[in-house]
Amino acid sequence: MPATLSLSRKIVRCTNAFTRDQLTPQLIAKVKTALFDMLSCVYEARDLPWSQQAMKIAARGQGPAHVFGSHLPATTADAAFVNAILGHGLVREDMHTGSVSHLGVVVLPTLLALAESKKVSGRDFILAAVSGYEVGCVIGKAVMDQANVKQYRPTGITGPLAAAIGGARLLGLTEDHMVSALGFAANTTVGLNEWPYSGGDEMFFHVGFAARNAVTAVELAELGANASESSLDGIAGLFAALRKTDKIASVVPFGGPHAEILDVYHKPAPACNYAQTATQCAAALSVPTARITAITVRCTAAAAAYPGCDYTGPFQKTLQAKMSIQFCVGAALTRGVIEEANYRALDHPEINRLARLTKLEIDPTLTAAYPGLQGAEVMVTLQDGKVLRHKLQDVIPATPEQIRARFASAAETVLGPDKTNAAREFIETLDQQPDVGALCEMLAL
């Protein structure tokens, strides 16, 4: 490619060079699993305050799109906004470690909302999803170092860009229009990482802002509005703002050995990515917690440094608990399970006692293996001086079978068994479906 090619145009051309014929069975299966994962969270999170608040905003308008698990007719942008927040409501969204991003809860709600505005096939939907994940991942890998992660929410930066590219591909926009969609999306990026220090709710809404902005960016580009082609790599572009101009050349979508979506894992616990492995280690230790006098968690430097992860309390907000490695470990030791109920017991005296006893230690070996591996070790000291420990070299992801079971259980309580089975069969045959918009009707009430 010519050296003068802008980063935005390079991204668009690399993305468009990846075609439907290159969708392997593995990629198709991955998108289906990601969709089941996102939707399982949607139906479990409907009763949470941030979900209800987002629904009330959507209820003010009328449109052709659906809010999943509700009767609300919404505009395309509002449907993307609410469904993204619902998918993020449990903090059990999918995770791409290299970009520190949760792309499924932005890309998939955006594509589903746009699929209600224009008839698109399931195979084109899958291609758009793979493309969106790819762009979000490669940009995130380039810009999200520990300094930027401390200040900015990674998904707030990668999400709008990923979903805008995915949405533009879904609607079949021209190369120039796709460049503009990416440029407009770049102007909407960022979510601040101040919320972990007070347990603020804005984290839940970051993905909603990203999805709604992505829809708007695509719609503006489709109407012929022109964004700066240098919005990413210009002297006042996104990479300059993030102090990452030296990483511009590293951004090459589909330039790796496999599509980035295949490196996305699905969380076992409804909590922060950096608490996952330690929580699994703690759950594997069966010990009467009254005997515990000290707990040490050995983890990566990234885990210890991420805002909100090294926090012993007090826990007044759900997010404080879901971000805290100490709380997650204490809850897993106390309750012996990993589930949403762990994080609805903020005043549990034994969980709080164990959280206060827990210290984090950075392990150089685990740190060197990150982000390829996310290892952790939990060491529990008992009253008699005995030390129990459990170590994992990497997080154990939720399996496709577990994810489908979570979807079936959550969806049936809202949609009933018949609609749930219809939606499940549709997603399982997504690559053969002529109109993805029909799925959105099934997912609503």
Share of the chain above pLDDT 90, in %: 98
CB 188 within 8 A of CB 174: no
Q: What is the pLDDT of residue 3?
A: 55
Tell me: the pLDDT tens digits for 297-332? 999 999 999 999 999 999 999 999 999 999 999 999
The two tokens of residue 165 are 């590219």
For residue 386, what are the contacts with CB-CB under 8 A and spacing of at least 6?
A: none
The arithmetic mean of pLDDT across residues 8-17, rounded, is 98
Compute the distance between CA of residue 282 and CA of residue 280 in angstroms, rounded to an integer. 5
Question: What pLDDT was estimated at residue 1?
Answer: 43
427: pLDDT strictly greater than 80: yes
Spatial separation of the C-alpha atoms in residues 200 and 385, rounded to whole Å: 39
Query: What's the whole-number average pLDDT of the chain?
Result: 97
Q: What is the pLDDT of residues 34-61, one digit of tens each?
A: 999 999 999 999 999 999 999 999 999 9
Q: What is the pLDDT of residues 182-199, one digit of tens each?
A: 999 999 999 999 999 888
Residues sharing a CB contact under 8 Å with residue 321, sequence separation 6 or more, in sequence order: 271, 315, 327, 328, 331, 343, 346
- Give residue 2's pLDDT band: very low, low, confident or very high (50, 70, 90): very low
Beta bridge partners of 297: 360, 378
CA distance 155 to 148: 12
- Structural domains in the chain, CATH included, are 7-263 (1.10.4100.10), 273-392 (3.30.1330.120)
> Residue 13 — pLDDT band, cuts 50, 70, 90?
very high
Express each pLDDT in 329-343 by its tens digit.
999 999 999 999 999
pLDDT tops 50 at residue 248 = yes
